[in-house]
Amino acid sequence: ADADATAPNNRIRYALAGRGKASKYFHVEPDTGAVKVRDDLRKETDSEYTVDIQAYDQGDPVMSSVMSLTVYVSHSAIVPPDVRLGFPDTVYTEHVAENSPNGTLVRTLPIWNKKKHSRD
């Protein structure tokens, strides 16, 4: 029998693996691995953030792997701080093949003015 198919070996958790600016601006949900923006990226002039995400099981010994997510931010427009920027959808899910080469573009996300596009 495959030990990876049963608990606790099949319980996967996620965490930021690195420190620095990525940990200030991004958060990884421990149960799902969802990456969320923690703070306003307009405060920084950086156009690229590398978010290292560790996935690990609950087995003994713990097995883990780290992957890097690169987030590119375009600062091409000056946006006043009172403008609420966001994404059209609250969740985006993508699947990446295990054998995808490094640097594979997964998705480009549009940004919009939330107040202007409000459904209220």
pLDDT at 28: 92
- Residues 41-84: pLDDT tens digits? 777 788 888 899 999 998 888 889 888 888 888 776 666 667 66
Domain extent listing, the chain: 3-113
Task: Kindly tell me if the per-residue pLDDT of 120 is higher than 50.
Answer: no
CA distance linking residue 68 with residue 77, whole number of Å? 27
- Residues 10-52: pLDDT tens digits? 889 999 997 778 888 889 999 999 888 887 777 778 888 889 9
Local structure of 113: helix, strand or coil: strand
Tokens encoding 117: 């596009």
Read off the pLDDT band of 113 (50, 70, 90). Answer: low
CATH class of 3-113: mainly beta
Burial readout 72-89 (b: 16 or more C-beta within 10 A, e: otherwise): ebeeeeeeeeeeeeeeee
CA distance linking residue 35 with residue 24, whole number of Å? 13
Task: Kindly tell me if the per-residue pLDDT of 118 is higher than 60.
Answer: no
pTM for the model:
0.68
CA distance linking residue 117 with residue 94, whole number of Å? 24
51 vs 88, residue with greater confidence: 51
Q: At residue 20, what is the residue type? A: G
